[in-house]
Structure 1
Amino acid sequence: MKVAVLDIKGKETGREVELSDAVFAIEPNNHAVYLDVKQYLAHQRQGTHKSKERAEIAGSTRKIKKQKGTGTARAGSIKSPVFRGGGRIFGPRPKDYKQKLNKNVKRLARRSALTLKSNENAITVVENFNFEAPKTKEFKDILKSLGLENKKSLIVLGEANNNVYLSSRNLQNSEVVTNAELSTYKILNANNVVLLEGSLEGIESNLIK
Structure 2
Amino acid sequence: MSKIQMINIEGNPVNEIELSDQIFGVDVNEHVVYLVVKNILANRRQGTHSAKTRAEVRGGGKKPWRQKGTGRARQGSIRSPQWRGGGVVFAKKPRDYSYTTPKKVRRLALKSVLTSKLKDNEIIVLDKLEMNEIKTKTFANILKAIKADRKALVVINDNDENIVKSARNIANVKTSYVKDINVYDLLKYNSLIITKDAIDTLEEVFN
Fold match by TM threshold 0.5: yes
Question: In structure 1, how many angstroms separate the alpha carbons of the residues matched to 2:16 and 2:63?
Answer: 82
Kindly tell me the number of residue pairs found equivalent between the two proteins: 206
Tell me which residue corresponds to 2:10. 9
Following superposition, the deviation at residue 205 of structure 1 comes to 2.6
Question: In structure 1, how many angstroms separate the alpha carbons of the residues matched to 2:155 and 2:44?
Answer: 21
Aligned residue for 2:197, secondary structure, equals helix
Question: In structure 2, how many angstroms separate the alpha carbons of the residues matched to 1:37 and 1:132?
Answer: 36
Tell me which residue corresponds to 2:166. 167
Residue 189 of structure 2 corresponds to residue 190 of structure 1: yes
Question: In structure 2, how many angstroms separate the alpha carbons of the residues matched to 1:111 and 1:121?
Answer: 15
Tell me which residue corresponds to 2:117. 117
1:83-162 matches, within 5 Å, as: 83-148=83-148, 150-162=149-161
Question: In structure 2, how many angstroms separate the alpha carbons of the residues matched to 1:167 and 1:4?
Answer: 25
1:37-76 matches, within 5 Å, as: 37-76=37-76
Tell me which residue corresponds to 1:178. 177
Q: Which moved more, 1:120-129 or 1:101-110?
A: 120-129
Aligned residue for 1:81, secondary structure, equals coil
* TM-score relative to the length of structure 2: 0.92
* TM-score relative to the length of structure 1: 0.91
| Letter in structure 1 aligned against 2:3 | K
Aligned residue for 1:54, secondary structure, equals coil
Aligned residue for 2:31, secondary structure, equals helix
Following superposition, the deviation at residue 142 of structure 1 comes to 0.7
Tell me which residue corresponds to 2:77. 77
Kept in 2: contact 1:110–1:207 (CA 8 A): no
Following superposition, the deviation at residue 60 of structure 1 comes to 4.3
Aligned residue for 2:105, secondary structure, equals helix
| Letter in structure 1 aligned against 2:139 | F
Kept in 2: contact 1:157–1:196 (CA 8 A): yes
Q: Identify unmatched segments of 5+ residues in structure 2.
A: none
Question: In structure 2, how many angstroms separate the alpha carbons of the residues matched to 1:103 and 1:126?
Answer: 29
The sequence identity of aligned pairs, in percent, is: 39
Q: Identify unmatched segments of 5+ residues in structure 1.
A: none
CA RMSD of aligned residues (A): 1.6
Structure 1 runs of 4+ aligned residues shifted over 6 Å read none
Question: In structure 2, how many angstroms separate the alpha carbons of the residues matched to 1:28 and 1:181?
Answer: 21
Kept in 2: contact 1:180–1:206 (CA 8 A): no
Question: In structure 2, how many angstroms separate the alpha carbons of the residues matched to 1:121 and 1:106?
Answer: 23
Deviation per CA, 1:39-73: give whole Å up to 9, x if none: 11222222212111111112241222222221112
Following superposition, the deviation at residue 11 of structure 1 comes to 0.8
| Letter in structure 2 aligned against 1:187 | L
| Letter in structure 2 aligned against 1:34 | Y
